Structure 1
């Protein structure tokens, strides 16, 4: 990740800000820290609906729709990762308790989280990312030829019926979420896919992950679909550069998990977040990658 800006040199708040939803802990607790949850590409804040019941008793939650997605769909381009991180930084400054948050990101939201942790470390109490490792091999080729991905998204939305969607959920042991699926169909846009994948290729390398050097980070791979070996190498970079010893940054895999495993094992996903935030032992499903 190229060091293109000074850490914590905050941009002025954007004129048009992303949609956010604030959920107080139940029962209310003014001492509860803030978690901000960042969804994946073409998704929305609804992605977290199954995780929220496991987290809301303990934390103040901020849910957002990232630029060009759902209730933030009218925001203007560019839709690159650093611009999204700027928007999230503004939300944390304005709405998180003490203007700080534990940041959780899935897929695209994970890359936003890593960019945020590198450039705005004073806003981030910790970072938990899943399915957000630098692209290599066929994944990198697809990201560079993102028109293939766009037509793949478009074609799958065209041919997958509700019945097929239900069957796919059963096969992957995922919870059905019809409302989220409708949002995903609406959020497939060429410029968004082009900008997001292009900026990930430009911004992120395995060696560059050492630049996230002031925030304690957990990177986790879903063992069935994510880049497990690349995730392992990220953990090795953090260890070799002293970030594991100094901060505790580490990499893990959940072997039975698909990419969007927050919709597959929401209780385990939430348990991992809580353990990471509280500096406790992670659930047994988390296998460390050394």
Structure 2
């Protein structure tokens, strides 16, 4: 079994054995125990796994019940059949929340692809969502949208980079942009590069009916949402427009939905600034002021 930072033999650490038709999850109770602590469910990015959150867990576990999943098609949920669209993933995550979150509700945290899954949950299953924290998941535009529609280019790009970039080169590149070491997660990412995943995930994000346009962001009108961009790699102006749409539709005033940027952050900044990332999650879930590193976009 993979190591989860912050879990010990004495702690409440529950995993569901993967089956061909069941999503894999890890359940971590608060330490020290707190029966009133809310549930946070953490949804990883494309090709990643629940190990993406290993650096975040120690900062959240004293305050929350945590549910970590391997989304369909990834790692211990790789036996689940396609399609691997972000909307179908949301359906399966909704079942996990209903069955395993405290009171059948959770604060949802989504990174990148997991952010799009979170958007679907907030739009289609608002009664399950206490709040939504989304990073690096805004409507695709320009070159990003073109690449998503021509996802075969991305698939071969992933495969080529995996053949060329050795482990030591990858570690060096991560150090250059300030990302923490994540060798075990790196091996999961290498194993998760599959055509069906790339095709379905990117295709669903730009799908005209099932994806998210700027207008679609306004449909998330029952759940308090934070959309955050990493300054160095995410779409800051698109994220700003998301915040403006929420404000124009009255969702900022009624729910508190807003958009932010974290300066100096890369796309996967949960692996770069885990303490700040976790601090933002906790503050958003508790409804208090975000850490100073979060700069509002208006």
Structure 1 residue 287 corresponds to structure 2 residue 295: yes
Structure 1 residue 120 corresponds to structure 2 residue 128: no
* Structure 2: runs of 5 or more not aligned: 1-18
Question: TM-score, normalised on structure 2?
Answer: 0.92
- Structure 1 position 265, deviation (Å): 0.1
Q: 2:213 aligns with which of 205, 211, 214?
A: 205
Q: Which residue of 2 aligns with 1:70?
A: 75
Q: 1:230 aligns with which of 220, 238, 244?
A: 238
Structure 1 residue 187 corresponds to structure 2 residue 165: no
Cα-to-partner distance string for 1:238-289 (whole Å, 9 max, x where unaligned): 0000000000000000011000000000000000001101111111110000
Q: What is the SS of the residue equivalent to 2:34? A: coil
Q: Which residue of 1 aligns with 2:10?
A: none
Cα-to-partner distance string for 1:101-143 (whole Å, 9 max, x where unaligned): 0000000000000001100000000000000001000000000
- Structure 1 position 222, deviation (Å): 0.3
- Structure 1 position 16, deviation (Å): 1.6
- Describe how 1:32-111 pairs up with structure 2 within 5 A: 32-111=37-116
- Describe how 1:133-148 pairs up with structure 2 within 5 A: 133-148=138-153
Structure 1 residue 249 corresponds to structure 2 residue 254: no
Q: Which residue of 1 aligns with 2:165?
A: 160
| 2:259–2:297 CA contact under 8 A, matched in 1 | yes
- Structure 1 position 209, deviation (Å): 0.1
Moved over 4 A (4+): none
| 2:149–2:206 CA contact under 8 A, matched in 1 | yes
Q: Which residue of 1 aligns with 2:247?
A: 239
- Structure 1 position 15, deviation (Å): 8.4
Sort the Cα spacing of 1:15 and 1:93 in 2 relative to 1 into closer, same or farther, 3 A: farther
Q: What is the SS of the residue equivalent to 1:54? A: helix
Distance 1:15 1:86 in 2: 16
- Structure 1 position 190, deviation (Å): 0.4
Distance 1:159 1:25 in 2: 42
Cα-to-partner distance string for 1:41-100 (whole Å, 9 max, x where unaligned): 000000000000000000000000000000000000110011000000000000000000
Distance 1:257 1:236 in 2: 22
Distance 1:257 1:89 in 2: 30
Q: What is the SS of the residue equivalent to 2:157? A: helix
Q: Which residue of 1 aligns with 2:8?
A: none
- Which stretch shows the higher mean deviation, 202-211 or 101-110? 202-211
Q: Which residue of 1 aligns with 2:4?
A: none
Distance 2:22 2:86 in 1: 15
Q: Which residue of 2 aligns with 1:4?
A: none
Of structures 1 and 2, the one with the larger relative CO (CA 8 A, separation 6+) is: 1
Distance 1:159 1:266 in 2: 28
- Structure 1 position 208, deviation (Å): 1.2
| 2:20–2:80 CA contact under 8 A, matched in 1 | no
Q: Which residue of 2 aligns with 1:10?
A: none
- Structure 1 position 206, deviation (Å): 1.1
Distance 1:238 1:269 in 2: 22
Structure 1 residue 262 corresponds to structure 2 residue 267: no
